[in-house]
């Protein structure tokens, strides 16, 4: 469906993956840059999820070969940028694996603490989980709801993030590390809501937990009902987390839309549902917007992302940063190589503007600019100083 957006030669794809990787390692890992970095990758991969999957594989190999400070640098970039993209593109399995691997690199001590805590908790909670599973199964069977019920421990990184939000010295509880999943054997939405109502009538629902992602799916297509229930086990004074969804929804939550698309790509297109086609078309439309095709991303020498119109030159870059910098520009280093004013900035270029102590604006600069913004600033300067002479 999407392969025509990118040339299919292996050489071109490798070049593209190296370019994206260079972008990732160059970007300054400040919050102000992360949103632009997410935008950069999302625009470039939205039309072809398989390219993002290929980039993840490329990144994993680089991470595996890296050591010490380099490994930590890559792991931080993953957690702050790529992890969010994994969720947006619905690569849930890859996300959980890489989340934990990168968290272990960036916070090894915290990772070991939670891993040990989780190991102890699994032993202690085994009987409790079995008791809850039996209770839920009995309640559902009594009302003729045939379901598969399973439970899943959350990954270490997601538990660590939960702990960050908890008050100090608050212990981990079952709902922090474990979620119960109910999957009706009837492949229909109706039983999901019937089961939800039954559970709310039988136990005590926690309003803070309730989320209806079936009626209003997440942006990446994820669908499920989420609720929290008290008194499933009378002596347990904490809610348990329950997720209710159909089998296709559960498959999606396990493997993701993009993963399913990668599988279906080599089979028959009819394996993709209408909902999935709409989501893929939505992703595709993002990469085809005028803004996505008319802009490139470069860097300041400090690694800050600068979004530029295609065709922008050194002077356009300088005036976009600051008017005073533009007025005093005498040249630039691009990727550590000296360039003239009319050099057209390319995607991923690292630009360091060289400036004079005083403005050197000249009418000749008009021939070395592309953007309306730079043209306006130069015109304003020339008009202001012409009136003084």
Query: Got the DSSP string for 155-216?
Result: PHHHHHHHHHHSPTTPPP-HHHHEEEEEEESS-SHHHHHHHHHHHHHHSEEEEEEEEETTTS
Asked, for residue 106, whether it belongs to a domain, the answer is no
Asked, for residue 165, whether it belongs to a domain, the answer is yes
Domain count, the chain: 3
Asked if 179 and 209 sit in the same domain, the reply is: yes
CATH classification at residue 174: 3.30.460.10
Asked if 279 and 321 sit in the same domain, the reply is: no
Asked if 58 and 81 sit in the same domain, the reply is: yes
Asked if 282 and 314 sit in the same domain, the reply is: no
Asked, for residue 315, whether it belongs to a domain, the answer is yes
Asked, for residue 244, whether it belongs to a domain, the answer is yes
- Tokens 């991470």 found at: 63
CATH classification at residue 327: 3.10.20.30
Q: What is the maximum span of the chain, computed from C-alpha positions, in angstroms?
A: 94
Asked if 243 and 148 sit in the same domain, the reply is: yes
Asked if 136 and 234 sit in the same domain, the reply is: yes
Asked, for residue 7, whether it belongs to a domain, the answer is yes
E strand map for the chain: 147-153, 178-184, 204-212, 225-230, 240-244, 295-300, 305-309, 329-334, 337-339, 350-355
Whether the full predicted model's pTM is greater than 0.85, yes or no, is: no
Asked if 26 and 140 sit in the same domain, the reply is: no
Asked if 49 and 164 sit in the same domain, the reply is: no
Asked if 220 and 132 sit in the same domain, the reply is: yes
Asked, for residue 140, whether it belongs to a domain, the answer is yes
Structure tokens at 275: 């909902």
Asked if 282 and 312 sit in the same domain, the reply is: no
Q: Are strands 305-309 and 295-300 parallel, antiparallel or unpaired?
A: antiparallel
Percent of residues in the chain assigned helix, strand, coil, to nearest 5: 60, 15, 25
pLDDT of the chain, 389 residues: tens digit per residue: 344 445 557 888 898 899 999 999 999 988 889 989 998 998 888 777 778 889 999 999 999 999 999 999 999 999 999 999 998 887 888 899 999 999 999 999 999 999 988 888 888 788 888 889 999 999 999 999 999 998 888 889 988 988 887 766 555 677 778 889 999 999 899 999 999 999 999 999 988 889 999 999 887 778 999 999 988 888 777 788 999 999 988 888 776 665 555 555 544 444 455 655 666 565 555 555 555 568 999 999 999 999 999 999 999 999 999 999 999 999 999 999 999 999 999 999 999 999 999 998 999 999 999 999 999 999 999 998 876 65
Asked if 247 and 175 sit in the same domain, the reply is: yes
Asked if 225 and 282 sit in the same domain, the reply is: no
Domain that holds residue 361: 301-386
Asked, for residue 157, whether it belongs to a domain, the answer is yes
Asked, for residue 294, whether it belongs to a domain, the answer is no
């Amino acid at each position: 469906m999407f392969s025509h957006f990118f040339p299919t030669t292996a050489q071109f794809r490798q070049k593209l993956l190296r370019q994206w990787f260079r972008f990732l390692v160059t970007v300054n890992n400040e919050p102000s840059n992360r949103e632009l970095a997410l935008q950069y990758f999302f625009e470039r991969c939205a039309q072809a999820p398989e390219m993002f999957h290929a980039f993840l594989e490329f990144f994993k190999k680089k991470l595996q070969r890296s050591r010490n400070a380099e490994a930590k640098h890559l792991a931080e970039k993953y957690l702050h940028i790529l992890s969010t993209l994994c969720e947006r593109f619905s690569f849930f399995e890859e996300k959980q694996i890489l989340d934990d691997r990168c968290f272990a690199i960036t916070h090894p001590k915290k990772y070991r603490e939670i891993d040990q805590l989780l190991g102890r908790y699994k032993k202690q909670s085994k009987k409790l989980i079995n008791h809850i599973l039996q209770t839920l199964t009995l309640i559902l069977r009594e009302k003729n709801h045939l379901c598969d019920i399973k439970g899943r421990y959350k990954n270490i990184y997601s538990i660590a993030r939960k702990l960050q939000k908890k008050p100090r010295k608050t212990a981990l509880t079952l709902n922090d590390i474990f979620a119960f999943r109910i999957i009706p054997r009837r492949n229909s939405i109706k039983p999901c809501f019937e089961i939800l109502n039954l559970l709310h009538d039988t136990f005590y629902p926690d309003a803070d937990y309730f989320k209806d992602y079936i009626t209003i799916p997440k942006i990446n297509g994820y669908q499920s009902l989420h609720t929290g229930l008290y008194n499933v086990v009378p002596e347990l004074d904490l809610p348990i987390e329950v997720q209710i969804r159909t089998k296709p929804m559960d498959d999606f939550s396990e493997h993701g839309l993009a993963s399913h698309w990668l599988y279906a790509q080599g089979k028959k297109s009819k394996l993709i549902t209408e909902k999935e086609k709409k989501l893929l078309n939505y992703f595709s439309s993002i990469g085809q917007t005028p803004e996505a095709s008319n802009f490139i991303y470069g860097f300041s020498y400090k690694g800050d992302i600068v979004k530029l119109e295609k065709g922008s030159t050194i002077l356009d870059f300088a005036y976009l940063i600051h008017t005073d910098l533009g007025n005093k520009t005498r040249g630039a280093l691009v990727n550590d190589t000296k360039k003239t004013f009319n050099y057209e900035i390319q995607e991923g270029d690292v630009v360091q503007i060289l400036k004079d102590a005083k403005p050197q604006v000249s009418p000749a600069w008009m021939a070395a600019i592309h953007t309306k913004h730079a043209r306006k600033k130069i015109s304003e300067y020339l008009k202001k100083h012409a009136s003084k002479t």
